[in-house]
Every structure is written in C-alpha cells, then in structure tokens.
Structure 1
C-alpha cells in the first residue's frame, strides 16, 4: 500500500509517500481502508521525536474510512462499516489521568497517513452520518482534546465566560464551538483579522487582537474559565484575564513550555490550574454524541491530496491555517 513514511532523516527531509508493506491483522483488530485523514501539530512534533535511526514510521493520528477486514474475536463491527478512528490507544474509561501504557496512533505505532491502517476494533468507531468524509477524517484528536479540556477538566457551564487565546488552530475552533453549544460566552484572540472575523461568525462574543492590551479591550471583564493551548507566549497574559477563584486549563506548549509564575499573585487569586491531554474512549463517544446533537462540524481550512504532503506540512508549520488541514487518500 501507499503511505506517508518518515525515516532516515529528521523533519520534513525524512518524509516520503511510498509503498510499504501492510500490517498483519491480529485477533481483536480491524483493517480500515482510509478515505481521509487529518493533520495536527502533533505531526510536527513526531517529525522531531522519531529519530533517523528508528524503524520507518507511518505518521498521522486522525482518519476515517471503511472497514475492509476483521480479525478473530471481533464483534459488533463488520467489513463495509463506515468508521472514524479514535487515535487514543489503551484509555477506555474516563479517569483523572491517562493510564500507564496510553499511546496515540502515529507514534510509536503506524498512523493514518496511509491507504490502510490496522487498529484495535474498539478504536474503529461508527462514523457519524452527519459528517462528510473530509469532516470525519480531521475530527478526532483535536475534538477529543477540546472536549476533555472544556467539559471534564474545565467543567464548563451555561453562562460562564470562557477565554480562548490563539483561535486559529483546530482544537481552538472546536473549543469555541463546544463552549457556545454549552451556553457559554466565549472570548478569543488572534493576530489575524480574518481569523477574528471567522471566530465572530462562529459565535464568539468578542475577538481580540493578539497584540492589543487584552485587559483594556475586555474593559474589566474577567473570565470564569481560560483554556490555554498556546504556551509560554500567552500563558501569563491569559492568566491575567481570569477572575479570582477561576480555572485555567492548559494542554498546549507550541509557543514555549516554560513559564515564570508569580506564586503570591496566584495563591491570593485562589486560581485553579489544571493540565489536560487527549481523552478516554468514554469521552470520545460522549464527544461524538455532543457534536451530533448540536450539529457541530469541523472548521476545515484545506484538504490536500496526500501526495502534496510537503505543501500541507509547510502550511501547518507556518500556523496560517484557520481550523483543520486534511488529506484525501482514496
């Protein structure tokens, strides 16, 4: 089969769309012929984490397709079923943190940027009929990350004020849509006017310029919940927007992973700081039900033929996308 394989060199230089042997199907697994796949910032991370001396790796975490073959002991799913891939491996029930052994499709195991993928049967979930193949293919990792951060960790409620810096990413656009559907009042930031306008069209109450004074622009309003997915570049500015006793959930560090925190300000403010990452299979199914019930669809920037992977990665690396970037495969 054809696949986007990383090997032999760091970064983009090690990527090639080439033939590779299909994985063998084991008991409890299914083989899915993929129609679409979605990119995440994690894919950029994998290009640096997967070393040149490591075995060839098919990257990619998001995808959707049609079940081609089922292994022994598989029940409740059959060849021909339309499915979406849950990229989280080994995290079944909702818990305070991922269990030991939790992994994500695309590293260390082969991922979704391929014509086919073999996954545990429980990770091939029925594709919501409300989603197109392109929408289903780009959904999983970002939407699940947003769902857990907002609902499980952030405990979002109707009427809350929610602050989301850096609205351009796929996760951030899901955060905006999910928070609005939950009845929250949502505030976002971006350095790009186009992204701010799009956020307003998606229901944001106010869209701030990254470079302006956020405290002044908010005119004294304080947030009940801040979801920080940028990192050190915005962390303390985001924290300044939080009301006393409010909660900040963080799961991203693309703009730096070390911050300097004034502890006196923090404990006098009675702030809550929570970490989050991905989510369980239980939360994944709850998330799919939530988007179906609320008619939520991914914001898609561009879908590239997988053979044009270089252009797709450059777009992701430049962070100039609004929403998700995906691949068409078949």
Structure 2
C-alpha cells in the first residue's frame, strides 16, 4: 500500500508483526503489530508474498533480545513461512541464511544466521530471502502446513534421521509432548518405525502425544519400564537428569534446545561409565528440508497445527506460547 511522505514522495509500507526493541523482562511488551517499510530484494534474492508463517520459541527469544544485537531492532519476527513468488510459484522458505562464500554444510557456517537475527522475518505481507532459500511447495501441503516445515519440523528431521543413528524397531523418548519440535518427532518417529515414548506435564499433553502416534506416554520425570535407545531433548534443565537416567548403556541424547534453561549438572560419571553420547543438533540444511517434505508426502503425515490465527491477532499466539499452552504448531495466516 502507499502512504504519502510529507507530500514529497511515496513511502511504501506493509503490515508486519515486529519487535520494537529488546525487552528481556517483559518480552510481549516489545511486540508490535503495525507497519514497516516494504522490503527491497538485493541481487540474487527474491521477494515472497507470505501466505502463512509459524511461530517458534526463537521469536520469543528475539523479543527478549537473545541472539540479536540491539542495533538490529526494530526486527520483523518469524523464521518460517510459505507463500508465492512474483510469477505465482508456491514456495516454502528455508530460514538458514549462510555466507555466500561458504561452501560446506550450511549449519556449520560460522557466519550463518536465521531470519530475524540479521534479516527481517516472515510475519509480514512480504519477506525477501536469497533465491536458494525458497523451495517448491508440495501441492499436497497447505500453506499453513508448509509454513511449519522450515524450523520445528526440519529440526526434528535432522535430530532423528541425521544425528541420532537410531534404527527402526528401537525405542526413542521425546521429552515434552506438545511443542512444535516434539510433535514433529512423534509423527516422524512413528512413521519411521521406531517405538515412540513421550513425557508430558499434563493429561491433555499426553493425550495429544497418543493421538499423534506415541506408543506410550508418561508423566514428566516418571520411572520408565525399561531403558531407551535415544532421548530427544529440547527442554534442558527441567528434564536433563531424567534424560540421562532413561538411557541404556551406549545410548544417545540429541539436543536441539533448552527452553527451561541450561543444566550445569552434566552427570559426567554416568556419561563416561555407560558410554553415552550427547549430540548437538541445530536446524537443518536446504537438502534436508527437501527430503523432509518428500518423506512427509511418502509417509502421509502432516504437521499438527494447534491453532491458526490471522496475523493481525499474533499477540494471542505469542501469549499462548509464552504460557506453554501449545498443542502443535501455532500458525499465522494472511
């Protein structure tokens, strides 16, 4: 849309949901729904007309000022998205923006960033990204489903299929039952032929895990009937000791987050005596995102969307995530 600028020029602006400034004590106080300047695509970049975008914990961290320099604000939020190019092509956005000079695996690029760390995000009418960061949207995925792929589902895919080394028939434990990565791990693990166990804080969250395909569910911290081959950790301090105790000798913990904070108690004696492995995992590559979408099509699985809101009502989604009231992915639509 156009707005007159002092009667001398036309300032092009768009709708956006953004962090006005960092606020570590009250992050939602920094959340602003309003207008921001239209993006301009540099050479080699493309403009995407956003149709849907999903919310991640990373967006709450951005509001707190974690992982982003103060001079980067205001910052449009949103790592994930799906939409259309100028010619109408339907695309999914890969949010890892690498150094053009880097030739290795992009998650190992020391200069890599996610959308919203250096470049403006997807909670807006439009976003610009490098041309290699858009992939064709599968026809059998809705825009809302496709918007869940780029962070939570890609993170889960990499944890399970690239990092864990688990095989069909083995037992995996997912700590936490209702977040985006956790729900993706449940569906992906079940589709891949693993026995999926899940912990959840409430009966509702455990029921959701069962609905998604978990073979067994347990209260957080509960004693398990037997040791597991692998644990998938996104919680951190609140579940770490339980994760360590849950593993069989030689088992593996794959960690992609610590939403409850880091745990300085690593339980090193258990780690070396039982020859456990702790493996870090961050996001995923463009090729892994393509493989993920192919796997979902082949296996017939779809992201669990807990709530779908107009982008103008984004605050309600942020409030739900901050309160831990999730039942799958929170998606904003235009």
TM-score by length of 1: 0.91
Query: 1:101: Cα distance to partner?
Result: 1.1
Task: Provide the rounded CA distance (Å) in 2 between the counterparts of 1:278 and 1:18.
Answer: 29
Match of 1:43 in 2: 59
Any idea what SS the aligned residue of 2:51 has?
strand
Q: 1:192 aligns with which of 184, 202, 220?
A: 202
User: 1:39-59 deviations in whole A, cap 9, x for unaligned?
Assistant: 000100011125665432111
Q: What is residue 251 of structure 2 aligned with on the other side? A: 246
| Count of matched residue positions in the alignment of Structure 1 and Structure 2 | 314
| CA displacement at 1:80 relative to structure 2 | 0.8
Cα offset, 1:14, TM superposition: 2.1
Residue by residue over 1:187-228, the C-alpha shift from the partner in whole angstroms, topping out at 9 and shown as x without a partner, is: 0010111221121122211100115xx22xx32x11111111
Query: Counterparts of 2:208 and 2:278 in 1: how far apart (Å)?
Result: 29
CA distance in 1, matches of 2:205, 2:215: 14
2:29 to 13, 16, 29: 13
Partner of 2:76: 58
Equivalence for 1:324 = 329
SS at structure 2 position matched to 1:320 = coil
State the partner residue of 1:114: 124
Q: 1:2 aligns with which of 15, 18, 23?
A: 15
Q: C-alpha offsets along residues 82-121 of structure 1, whole Å, 9 cap, x if unaligned?
A: 0111111128988495212111112221000000011111
Structure 1 range deviating more: 240-249 or 259-268: 259-268
Structure 1's 85 and 255: CA in aligned 2 closer, same or farther, altered over 3 A? same
Partner of 2:91: 83
Partner of residue 137, structure 1: 147
2:114 aligned residue (104, 114, 127): 104
Unaligned residue ranges in structure 2 (runs of 5+): 1-13
8 Å contact from structure 2 (residues 149, 289) kept in 1: no
Q: Which moved more, 1:255-264 or 1:188-197?
A: 255-264
The corresponding residue for 2:9 is none
Q: Secondary structure at the match of 2:59?
A: helix
Q: 1:170 aligns with which of 180, 190, 202?
A: 180
Within 2, Cα distance between the matches of 1:168 and 1:258?
22
Residue 156 of structure 1 deviates from its aligned partner by 2.4
Cα distance change on mapping 1:27 and 1:52 into 2, 3 Å: closer
In the aligned structure 1, how far is the partner of 2:107 from the partner of 2:123? 28
Structure 1: distance between partners of 2:308 and 2:211: 22
* Cα distance in 1 for residues equivalent to 2:61 and 2:38: 25
Task: Tell me how far apart the structure 1 counterparts of residues 282 and 61 of structure 2 sit (CA, whole Å).
Answer: 15
Whole-Å separation in 2 of the counterparts to 1:325 and 1:41: 11
Aligned equivalents of 2:70 and 2:44: distance in 1?
A: 32
Q: Which runs of 5 or more structure 1 residues have no equivalent in the other structure? A: 69-78
Report if aligned partners of 2:227, 2:248 keep a CA contact under 8 Å in 1. yes
Q: Describe the shift of the 1:262–1:8 C-alpha distance in structure 2 as closer, same or farther (beyond 3 A).
A: closer
CA gap 1:158/1:305 in 2 versus in 1, 3 angstroms = same
User: What do you get for the CA RMSD once the two structures are aligned?
Assistant: 1.8
Asked if 2 retains the 8 angstrom alpha-carbon contact of 1:67 and 1:82, the reply is yes
CA positional deviation for 1:61: 0.4
Q: How far, CA to CA, are the matches of 1:116 and 1:97 in structure 2? A: 25
TM-score by length of 2: 0.90
Specify whether residues 148 and 8 from structure 1 end up closer, same or farther in structure 2 by C-alpha distance, changes over 3 A only: closer
Q: 1:257 to 1:275 in 2, by over 3 A?
A: same
Q: Is the 8 A contact 2:106 2:112 kept in 1?
A: no
